Structure 1
Amino acid sequence: MASWPEHPVIHEVNTAVWLTDLSRAAGRPVALGDVTDAEWDAITPTGVDAVWLMGVWERSPLGLALAAQDPGLWAGLKEALPDLGAADVIGSPYCVRRYVVDARFGGPEGLALARAALAVRGVRLILDYVPNHVAPDHPWVAEEPSALVGGTVENLIADPASWLDLDGRVVARGRDPYFPAWPDVVQVDAFSPVLRGLAASTLVDIASQCDGIRCDMAMLVTNETFARTWGGEAPSAEFWPSVIAEVRAAHPETVLIAEAYWDQEWALQQQGFAFCYDKRLYDRLLGVDAGAVADHLLADFSYQSKLVRFLENHDEPRVASRLGRDAEKAAAVVVATLPGATLWYEGQFEGRRVRPPVFVNRRAPEPPDHDLAHWYRRLLAAVADHRVRQGTWRLLDPGDRQVLAWSWTAEEATHLVIVNLSASRVQADIPLDWPGLPSTTWQLSDLLEGTSHAALGAGLSNPGLAVDLFPWQSHILAVTPRT
């Protein structure tokens, strides 16, 4: 398969929930090796470059037993799935017992068939890695004690929610510096040379089974964050550069993606990640703050092109439950046309409003919004087929803080994106004084609406495009000289 595109489009799929849906439709168990061509086609619409099969690894029975002691967990599960049954709860995909594909999903053989099915479609496979913690019954717990954060009986007595007794040995439960510990996982020691060696070996093995790896909460094992959480003297070397170097040596084409928060994106990019989550853009889009979005987009292109733009994922509420349909479409045009990677979550296109908790293997029934699904697929196809995100990206100033505008200029094509990210009707003047383009009048063809506009070119008086935008209206315009 060819190298990764510069600005890839990723479709995240909750593996357990998806396979349950397919099994119910087929009237028989369906594992990864049994998925039909039609179903692979359905999750790889035009414009999708990679599928992230979230949660394929073996989940921990002991971790589930520990998590199940929390009544709050059950309350949350029943809120999302009112008819919840014991068979629906399979444990967290981020409480990994072994980095081996779960037998219920088809095991390693099923994953290999899935990867081959995606490759036939020119689509890459992304899998998970959890650097910060392991399940309490992960082999490292018994075999590699120096890879974990150990404690004392006094720690356990003083704070039983943060420590765990495993057969007379006290170990820390996994956590971050801001929230209580997770009850079902054990904390690894990011400063331990043994742990770093094990992590590198694990990532190399995962990379042999896929094309990209999404690293959960990647900032938790940086020296600064780990020391702030657990204390101790940090080694001279950071965790990620040496670990990633081993992956690069064995699998140079593997793309590493960091789930990152707390303004750690730039640091993680410098430590070797190809892409990092853009949570700041997410917050500003969901807050419907176009001015704040524009301010965020002032960052250097080299930084922005390594961000992952999204409106939802398995950790965030469904965007349809947060924004009205027109506002969601406007935000989706923003995400689809910016530099960097874009991430879409399975079910988002159909307008699902209930996010399945990661502990369960099925979702609540919801009628799909077929019109919205058609619109999303048209959006992705238009951006891909017309090569919108090619060449030089430039943020434009429309003179109104409710309107966003940018252009993509390449040798073969120029595109202009305009979005009214507000509930008000807005008039604005979009400057079109792009360097290097001819002094002429341009024809602007809307790739989503099929309409055309004319605009004065550079070098003429008041070059630009006057727009009158209805609430939440957006345009993706192909620009050609008008003869």
Structure 2
Amino acid sequence: MEQLTPGHAEVCPGGTRARPDEPWWRCAVFYQILTPSFQDSDGDGFGDLDGIRSRVDYLARLGVDAVWLTPIYPSPLLDAGYDVADFTDVDPRFGGLAAFDLLLAALHARGIRLVLDLVPNHTSDRHPWFQESRSSRHNPKRDWYVWADLAPGDLPPNNWLSRFGGSAWAREPATGQCYYHAFLPEQPDLNWRNPEVRAALHEAMRFWLRRGVDGFRVDAAGVLAEDGALRDEPPNPDFDGDTPPPERFRRTRTDSQPVTLGYLSELRRVADEFPDRVLLGEVDAALDKLPGFYGDGEPRLHLPLNYRLLDVPWKPHAVGRAVQAFLDALPEGAWPDWVLGSHDKPRVAGRLGADQARVAAVLLLTLPGTPILYAGDELGMPNVPVPPERSRDPFERRLPGYGLSRDPYRVPLRWAPGVGGGFTQGEPWLPADGVPEACCVARQEEDPESLLALYRRLTALRRLRPELQVGGYRRLLSEGGVLAYARWRDGAGLLVVLNLSASAVTPALACRGEIVLGTAPGREGERVDGRVPLAPHEGVIVEADGG
């Protein structure tokens, strides 16, 4: 029966703050959009900013408070836009800067914030910085990237491996050296030890912040720097024949180097030059390193993204323990966040099933902290098979056979029945005909018991109830198929009771009050006086008598 009472924020009705000094992002529901897959406006089969703007009313009805876009910068799009060729422009395929300004204005007019993906670890090899850097050992931008001499026998300087397979070093014949790339060879890593590089990225941030962007999600935030001595990685003791080749070594020399935390402090100082901005960060750190990413003595990330529930076994004890372990690891004053879906991980409905996707929705929007929803999960989209010949993901193209492709989680949304699914008039960039018509927006909007309707009810309830935004938390039960916890504030309290199993259960939990939200029809308004029976895959939120 552990307890957490995060912060002292007041309720944020309508996505606004009750007090001017309260950070908006504590009360917000974030919504991640994979930009190419949300809505196409011009028939080229590729989602764009005008397409997103045409769906702003959908976002408002869903009840989200902030949208996070995957990269929209000019890019060859070899890695979903994370190969950036210009940090201060918008790719014409997404609509250009004019389309961006219109989208930003449309979102802000509805009280929705906009967060961009910042990709500071690397660039595209087509970026002008790298074109200069590779041209000569004496070019002023040579040291903007990580260059090294080859070892004897034309071998790489060390054993570092790319996450997409093969050596992380690419030879450049023109200058006789090689450059480091943690991802594709076409994504050379920037040298963050060079202050000129850091200053250039800071200016790129300011470009967007001045334009009105509300913050950034920092991609690969934990891997900005590598071991300065270029020492070998140690062997991975768990490596075997079923392990993907890039995991042959433990990434102790290329991940989470202490100097990286100082660089994140610099990013935070830039964000803090502008009021009401937020920094999210992609980190894959052990819990004992988590305080460093929030800031140990100086502020860093507001919200290091918490992906732990993506991989935990979907059992009450495992989920309850993972939640508590994360809360217990937070440094004083830090704010939790929760991610259940991502463009890099299997869909919620794909890994848990359609029935448990409803329970997962309740969990995501009632845990203490900031929830981050991945576009399409509110519709129960499954993992959609993509034929190898249509694959776009570097993992599938370079490491086939290991089941690493992320394409099944990235197919376009289905807005309407029929060919094209309302996403495009052309050929979609990833085949979307495998998305069930039951997952289309038009059909779910007509069904008051759809998963989309449940998400809308949850965001509305969260907006009305300060207990769910900033209240205390206590785990009450995590056994017998049931996870239950309490949320409370200022004398009012809610009990969240979730059946994570396929069996009907009546948990040993005394409960008196009224059900204010349920995943199954007909239970809202039901009086509970004792134990609350749950059908398979059912969850309820009970307003407890007397707080």
TM-based fold match above 0.5: yes
Q: Find out whether 1:273 has 2:304 as its counterpart.
A: no
Question: Is the partner of 1:219 in helix, strand or coil?
Answer: coil
Q: Which residue of 2 aligns with 1:466?
A: 531
Query: In the alignment, is the contact (CA less than 8 A) between 2:280 and 2:301 conserved in 1?
Result: yes
Q: Of 415, 427, 430, which aligns to 2:509?
A: 430
Tell me, in whole angstroms, the C-alpha distance in 2 between the residues paired with 1:332 and 1:108. Answer: 35
Q: 1:154 to 1:126 in 2, by over 3 A?
A: same
Q: Which residue of 2 aligns with 1:445?
A: 515
Paired letter, 1:137? R
Note the 1:242-321 alignment, pairs <5 A. Answer: 242-249=266-273, 251-263=274-286, 264-270=289-295, 271-284=299-312, 287-299=313-325, 300=327, 303=330, 306-321=335-350
Q: Of 49, 61, 65, which aligns to 1:32?
A: 49
The C-alpha deviation readout for 1:331-381, integer Å capped at 9, x for no partner, is: 221111112221212222222222355998444122243233223323322
Paired letter, 1:245? R
The C-alpha deviation readout for 1:15-51, integer Å capped at 9, x for no partner, is: 122232x444xx99985247665x2111333431101
Q: 1:384 to 1:275 in 2, by over 3 A?
A: same
Query: In the alignment, is the contact (CA less than 8 A) between 1:171 and 1:187 conserved in 2?
Result: no
The C-alpha deviation readout for 1:211-246, integer Å capped at 9, x for no partner, is: 121111211126789984359x97697211123212
Tell me, in whole angstroms, the C-alpha distance in 2 between the residues paired with 1:401 and 1:273. Answer: 37
Query: In the alignment, is the contact (CA less than 8 A) between 1:393 and 1:406 conserved in 2?
Result: no
Question: Is the partner of 2:337 in helix, strand or coil?
Answer: strand
Paired letter, 1:446? V
Question: Is the partner of 1:326 in helix, strand or coil?
Answer: helix
Q: Which moved more, 1:136-145 or 1:208-217?
A: 136-145
Tell me, in whole angstroms, the C-alpha distance in 2 between the residues paired with 1:51 and 1:188. Answer: 27
Paired letter, 2:335? K
Q: Which residue of 1 aligns with 2:447?
A: none
Q: Find out whether 1:55 has 2:55 as its counterpart.
A: no
Q: Which residue of 2 aligns with 1:172?
A: 179
Q: Which moved more, 1:162-171 or 1:103-112?
A: 162-171
Tell me, in whole angstroms, the C-alpha distance in 2 between the residues paired with 1:154 and 1:120. Answer: 57
Paired letter, 1:266? P
Q: How far off its partner does 1:387 sit?
A: 4.3
Q: Which residue of 2 aligns with 1:324?
A: 353
Paired letter, 1:244? R
Q: Of 26, 29, 49, which aligns to 1:6?
A: 26
The C-alpha deviation readout for 1:104-142, integer Å capped at 9, x for no partner, is: 212112111101100111100011011221111212221
Tell me, in whole angstroms, the C-alpha distance in 1 between the residues paired with 2:476 and 2:337. Answer: 23
Note the 1:334-349 alignment, pairs <5 A. Answer: 334-349=363-378
Note the 1:106-121 alignment, pairs <5 A. Answer: 106-121=95-110
Tell me, in whole angstroms, the C-alpha distance in 2 between the residues paired with 1:384 and 1:235. Answer: 39
Tell me, in whole angstroms, the C-alpha distance in 2 between the residues paired with 1:474 and 1:60. Answer: 45
Query: In the alignment, is the contact (CA less than 8 A) between 2:509 and 2:531 conserved in 1?
Result: yes
Q: How far off its partner does 1:419 sit?
A: 1.0
Question: Percent identity between the aligned chains?
Answer: 25
Tell me, in whole angstroms, the C-alpha distance in 2 between the residues paired with 1:358 and 1:221. Answer: 29
Alignment RMSD? 3.3
Note the 1:201-240 alignment, pairs <5 A. Answer: 201-209=203-211, 210-221=213-224, 228-229=252-253, 238-240=262-264
Tell me, in whole angstroms, the C-alpha distance in 2 between the residues paired with 1:481 and 1:343. Answer: 31
Tell me, in whole angstroms, the C-alpha distance in 2 between the residues paired with 1:323 and 1:236. Answer: 35
Paired letter, 2:266? S
Tell me, in whole angstroms, the C-alpha distance in 1 between the residues paired with 2:170 and 2:342. Answer: 30
| Structure 2 unaligned blocks of 5 or more | 1-15, 18-22, 134-140, 157-165, 232-251, 385-407, 413-427, 445-449
Q: 1:156 to 1:410 in 2, by over 3 A?
A: farther
Query: In the alignment, is the contact (CA less than 8 A) between 1:92 and 1:358 conserved in 2?
Result: no
Paired letter, 1:164? A
Q: Which residue of 2 aligns with 1:78?
A: none
Note the 1:369-384 alignment, pairs <5 A. Answer: 369=439, 370=444, 371-384=450-463
Q: How far off its partner does 1:402 sit?
A: 3.0
Q: Find out whether 1:157 has 2:154 as its counterpart.
A: yes
Tell me, in whole angstroms, the C-alpha distance in 2 between the residues paired with 1:223 and 1:341. Answer: 31
The C-alpha deviation readout for 1:247-305, integer Å capped at 9, x for no partner, is: 212x1321000111132433211251111222222212xx2121122122324479396
Tell me, in whole angstroms, the C-alpha distance in 2 between the residues paired with 1:184 and 1:104. Answer: 20
Query: In the alignment, is the contact (CA less than 8 A) between 1:223 and 1:239 conserved in 2?
Result: no
Q: Which residue of 2 aligns with 1:405?
A: 484
Q: How far off its partner does 1:477 sit?
A: 1.8
Paired letter, 1:18? F
Q: How far off its partner does 1:191 sit?
A: 2.4
Query: In the alignment, is the contact (CA less than 8 A) between 1:10 and 1:342 conserved in 2?
Result: yes
Q: Of 91, 94, 98, which aligns to 2:86?
A: 98
Query: In the alignment, is the contact (CA less than 8 A) between 1:395 and 1:406 conserved in 2?
Result: yes
Q: 1:184 to 1:43 in 2, by over 3 A?
A: farther
Tell me, in whole angstroms, the C-alpha distance in 2 between the residues paired with 1:189 and 1:44. Answer: 41
The C-alpha deviation readout for 1:409-428, integer Å capped at 9, x for no partner, is: 22274222111222233332
Q: Which moved more, 1:330-339 or 1:349-358?
A: 349-358
Query: In the alignment, is the contact (CA less than 8 A) between 1:223 and 1:238 conserved in 2?
Result: no
Q: How far off its partner does 1:166 sit?
A: 4.7
The C-alpha deviation readout for 1:385-436, integer Å capped at 9, x for no partner, is: 444514432213237353222222222742221112222333323367xxxx
Query: In the alignment, is the contact (CA less than 8 A) between 1:290 and 1:403 conserved in 2?
Result: yes
Q: 1:36 to 1:310 in 2, by over 3 A?
A: closer
Q: Which residue of 2 aligns with 1:414?
A: 493
Tell me, in whole angstroms, the C-alpha distance in 2 between the residues paired with 1:30 and 1:60. Answer: 15
Q: Find out whether 1:190 has 2:269 as its counterpart.
A: no
Q: 1:54 to 1:443 in 2, by over 3 A?
A: same
Paired letter, 2:24? W
Tell me, in whole angstroms, the C-alpha distance in 2 between the residues paired with 1:35 and 1:332. Answer: 23
Q: 1:220 to 1:297 in 2, by over 3 A?
A: same
Tell me, in whole angstroms, the C-alpha distance in 1 between the residues paired with 2:381 and 2:227. Answer: 38
Question: Is the partner of 1:417 in helix, strand or coil?
Answer: strand
Tell me, in whole angstroms, the C-alpha distance in 2 between the residues paired with 1:182 and 1:156. Answer: 23
| Structure 1 unaligned blocks of 5 or more | 65-90, 176-180, 433-441, 456-464
